[in-house]
Amino acid sequence: MKKIVMLLIAVAAFAATASAQKFAFIDQEYILKKIPNYEMANEQLNQISQRWQREVETLEKEADTMYKNYQADMVFLTDEQKKKKEAEIVAKEKEAS
């Protein structure tokens, strides 16, 4: 019986040490800065992102201008013309988003 208890204690101690987690810190920023292709790709990504942002802002401004013009001309438009203008504005807003 004593041998079984000792064996169980030994197995439990071994299991506790075997399941211990090990952690390591890796400085990814340092590693990636050392790779020239990463810097180039990151710069290209930033340029594309900025270009798309400008395009979206331009489309939003166009939609806003269309809406302001619509509000100014609304009293002069027929119902059919109003629907057409509203559809154009909605299409421009969808294009921007």
- Complete DSSP assignment for 3-40: HHHHHHHHHHHHHHHHT--------HHHHHHT-HHHHH
pTM over 0.85: no
CA distances 16 to 4, 6, 22, 32, 52, Å, are: 18, 15, 13, 37, 54
- pLDDT less than 70: residues of the chain: 13-20
Q: Is residue 4 part of a domain?
A: no
Q: Is residue 2 part of a domain?
A: no
Q: Is residue 41 part of a domain?
A: yes
**Domain with 51 in it:** 25-96
pLDDT at 16: 60
Q: Is residue 17 part of a domain?
A: no
pLDDT at 63: 95
Total structural domains in the chain?
Answer: 1
pLDDT at 97: 85
28: left (phi over 0), alpha (psi -120 to 50) or beta: alpha
